[in-house]
């Protein structure tokens, strides 16, 4: 049965896209998908790049493998917006994704 039974929260996935506006190309976010998952927090996981801290995840998202989600995407769930910091296949088992998120105030 696994974690799938906890994937009860519905969320939308947004990705940055260029749009032409009055001032030229302006970045916007367009919905690219949706999924059910489970957001658990607080996390406080320190993310490192080249051994240096670059960000702190405030919550973790667990969702099905195959979900089209990438770093820098944004997630909207229960009226809260999150920035995707990191996406990993949990233990490389192809069972579920662990996604580190930062809440956007």
Residue 21 is predicted with a pLDDT of 67
Q: What is the pLDDT of residues 8-66, one digit of tens each?
A: 999 999 999 877 667 767 778 999 999 999 999 876 777 777 877 777 788 999 999 99
Q: Residue ranges of the domains in the chain?
A: 2-104
Q: Is the pTM of this model over 0.85?
A: no
Cα distance between residue 105 and residue 97, in whole Å: 24
Of the pLDDT bands very low, low, confident and very high (cuts 50, 70, 90), residue 92 is confident
Secondary element (H or E) of residue 30: strand 24-40
Tokens coding 77: 């769930």
In the predicted structure, residue 1 carries a pLDDT above the cut 70:
no
Q: What's the CA dihedral at 83, 87, 90, 96 to 10 degrees?
A: 70
C-alpha span between 102 and 12 (Å, rounded)? 15
Residue with the bigger pLDDT between 26 and 5: it is 5
Q: Does the domain formed by 2-104 have CATH 3.30.70.120?
A: no
């Amino acid at each position: 049965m696994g974690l799938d039974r906890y994937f009860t929260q519905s969320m939308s996935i947004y990705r940055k896209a260029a749009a032409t506006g009055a001032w030229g190309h302006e970045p916007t976010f367009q919905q690219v998908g949706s999924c059910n998952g489970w957001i658990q927090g607080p996390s406080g996981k320190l993310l490192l790049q080249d051994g240096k801290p670059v960000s702190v995840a405030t919550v973790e998202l667990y969702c099905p493998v195959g979900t089209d989600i990438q770093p820098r995407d944004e997630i909207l769930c229960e009226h809260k917006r999150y920035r995707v910091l990191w996406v990993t296949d949990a233990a490389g088992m192809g069972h579920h994704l662990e996604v580190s998120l930062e809440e956007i105030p």
